[in-house]
Structure 1
């Protein structure tokens, strides 16, 4: 019994030692993996690593577009609006309606104010009673320009909108960078091609990718232009300009009751008109109906008499024969 107990204790102790050694080995392996992963340099998706040989081949052919900074780099990004530690890309638009005493002088003032902040006029319509202008101004000067134009007269309407285009800009930025690297790789393959078939196939693929890259680049440039320059619509109205109609309130119970009463009156008027139209025809219809009833009675009387005469003739003859 004593030997059996000693053997069991020895087995338990040995199992514990083996388990402890295994746990220590697992911890050492995990520590080595985490330490090795920290040495890896993260590659930003906006700056892809160009294919080997693509840069030299492009330089030999004089392709200077590859040497330009990638979209999404620090030199290509316009100033955004930092919100919560994130550089937001905001598209701002505004509308302003001002009653002015002299629309012509006010238009000159608006042009001067837009030019002073680095903006310009894209559309303009002028008439006898006022002018309408569309301005493109730097986003950081929009509020200041609004306040300045509002001081030219009496503001009757003012509104603004903000569209957050950060996600779309980031997506297009990454797609442009990826497509640029793809074009560079295909150009490298074209430089290494030896047969005519390979050259034709690679050139076709290169043209397709360059076309897609050009489309993405234009979309990104247009979006960045909307972020950098805000759109301001200014409506300058002179003394003789017609005032816009006031916004009517939403209909209520009394409005619905009045509309229902008007509808009932309309239905009554229509019914009275129908009755008045049919009324002159009633005597004619009554006379025709009387003639129809009279003819029906005459027909019934003749049929009854004929039936009775036929029955009287057949009765005695049948008795004699019997």
Structure 2
């Protein structure tokens, strides 16, 4: 039995050793195969990578050279200018910049008006002095009216002489009231100037088309359009002229008054039968008017007064009957 057990153990041990050797050989072979494949790949990769990299480098160099040649005209420096060209160019640029309108350089267009109330001893003399003041400043009289009690004058005087004219008018008499106002019309003047220039160019273009027209239909259509645009141009030009006239000439309104001339003298009453009869008749009419006014005022209260009076009469009558019965 002992021999049998020994043989069995020996056989099992030999099988284990044999299995271990086989497994070891398999693992060793696997390692050798793996190492051999890696060495082969690494040995072939440098040449392959070099072969693939060299054409790439050649292509990139050629592409870079081509791109550089293409970009050279864009970045190449300009040819040197002849003597004096630089100064002329800079002068032209500076002139181009200076042609723009800087901020705050636009001349303001102001419409100025003034009103004066002056007391004078004689209305006709005051009007004559006011006219002389306007004429001395280069202005003119737009409207005028004069009478025994006073007068008024409307003047148009140059805007730059307005203050001097007002001082001369104030010296004519005693100033009792003085006022003035200023309206800034700069924006409107600039807008009308631009619109007039644009409309003039439009009219010129239509006239050029009219000169090139060959058929009757084209001539009629272009003439109609030209007439419309010329009418618009005339309207804009008229508005601009009127506005510039208001800016160039200020309006002054002068009210001349004679002290005490506004009080009416009492009308003398005439004596006699006729005037007395007329006065009596007017008094009767005034009395009748007053009575009618009072009656019209009291008429709405008449029903209420009648009701109150009826109630009072009933109460008094009942008391009398009660007193007689007692």
What's the counterpart of residue 197 of structure 1?
217
Name structure 2 gaps, 5 residues minimum: 1-63, 65-70, 79-88, 264-297, 315-326
What's the counterpart of residue 183 of structure 1?
203
Looking at structure 2, the residues matched to 100 and 133 of structure 1 have their Cα atoms a distance apart, in angstroms, of 14
Name structure 1 gaps, 5 residues minimum: 1-17, 19-24, 47-82, 244-271, 289-322
Corresponding residue SS for 2:239: helix
Corresponding residue SS for 1:239: coil
1:114 is the counterpart of 2:134: yes
Confirm or deny: 8 A CA contact 1:190 1:202 kept in the other structure. Answer: yes
Q: Residues 40 and 186 of structure 1: is their aligned pair in 2 closer, same or farther, counting only changes over 3 Å? A: farther
Confirm or deny: 8 A CA contact 2:193 2:240 kept in the other structure. Answer: yes
Instruction: For residue 151 of structure 1, report the CA deviation from its aligned partner.
Output: 1.1
1:151 is the counterpart of 2:171: yes
Aligned residue pairs total: 193
Instruction: For residue 104 of structure 1, report the CA deviation from its aligned partner.
Output: 1.6
Confirm or deny: 8 A CA contact 1:122 1:134 kept in the other structure. Answer: yes
Q: Residues 204 and 215 of structure 1: is their aligned pair in 2 closer, same or farther, counting only changes over 3 Å? A: same
What's the counterpart of residue 236 of structure 1?
256
CA RMSD of aligned residues (A): 3.7
Query: Which deviations, in whole Å up to 9, do the C-alpha atoms of 1:228-282 show, x marking residues without a partner?
Result: 0100000111122449xxxxxxxxxxxxxxxxxxxxxxxxxxxx99777613223
Instruction: For residue 86 of structure 1, report the CA deviation from its aligned partner.
Output: 3.1
Higher relative contact order (CA 8 A, sep 6+): 1
Looking at structure 2, the residues matched to 41 and 204 of structure 1 have their Cα atoms a distance apart, in angstroms, of 40
Looking at structure 1, the residues matched to 96 and 144 of structure 2 have their Cα atoms a distance apart, in angstroms, of 54
What's the counterpart of residue 145 of structure 2?
125
Instruction: For residue 287 of structure 1, report the CA deviation from its aligned partner.
Output: 9.1
Corresponding residue SS for 1:143: helix
Corresponding residue SS for 1:86: coil
Instruction: For residue 45 of structure 1, report the CA deviation from its aligned partner.
Output: 11
1:281 is the counterpart of 2:307: yes
Q: Residues 287 and 112 of structure 1: is their aligned pair in 2 closer, same or farther, counting only changes over 3 Å? A: closer
Corresponding residue SS for 1:87: coil
Looking at structure 1, the residues matched to 173 and 200 of structure 2 have their Cα atoms a distance apart, in angstroms, of 52
Confirm or deny: 8 A CA contact 1:94 1:232 kept in the other structure. Answer: yes
Q: Residues 148 and 283 of structure 1: is their aligned pair in 2 closer, same or farther, counting only changes over 3 Å? A: closer
What's the counterpart of residue 160 of structure 2?
140
Q: Residues 90 and 285 of structure 1: is their aligned pair in 2 closer, same or farther, counting only changes over 3 Å? A: same
Q: Residues 279 and 45 of structure 1: is their aligned pair in 2 closer, same or farther, counting only changes over 3 Å? A: farther
TM-score w.r.t. length of structure 1: 0.53
Query: Which deviations, in whole Å up to 9, do the C-alpha atoms of 1:191-247 show, x marking residues without a partner?
Result: 00111111111111100000000000000000000000100000111122449xxxx
- Computing the radius of gyration from Cα coordinates, the structure with the larger value is 2
Looking at structure 2, the residues matched to 135 and 122 of structure 1 have their Cα atoms a distance apart, in angstroms, of 5
Looking at structure 2, the residues matched to 219 and 134 of structure 1 have their Cα atoms a distance apart, in angstroms, of 22
Confirm or deny: 8 A CA contact 1:120 1:135 kept in the other structure. Answer: yes
TM-score w.r.t. length of structure 2: 0.53
Looking at structure 2, the residues matched to 287 and 95 of structure 1 have their Cα atoms a distance apart, in angstroms, of 73
Correspondence 1:160-175 to 2 at 5 A: 160-175=180-195
Instruction: For residue 101 of structure 1, report the CA deviation from its aligned partner.
Output: 1.4
Instruction: For residue 132 of structure 1, report the CA deviation from its aligned partner.
Output: 0.4
Looking at structure 2, the residues matched to 142 and 91 of structure 1 have their Cα atoms a distance apart, in angstroms, of 11
* Larger helix percent: 2
Looking at structure 1, the residues matched to 146 and 96 of structure 2 have their Cα atoms a distance apart, in angstroms, of 60
1:93 is the counterpart of 2:113: yes
Looking at structure 2, the residues matched to 274 and 191 of structure 1 have their Cα atoms a distance apart, in angstroms, of 87
Confirm or deny: 8 A CA contact 1:45 1:174 kept in the other structure. Answer: no
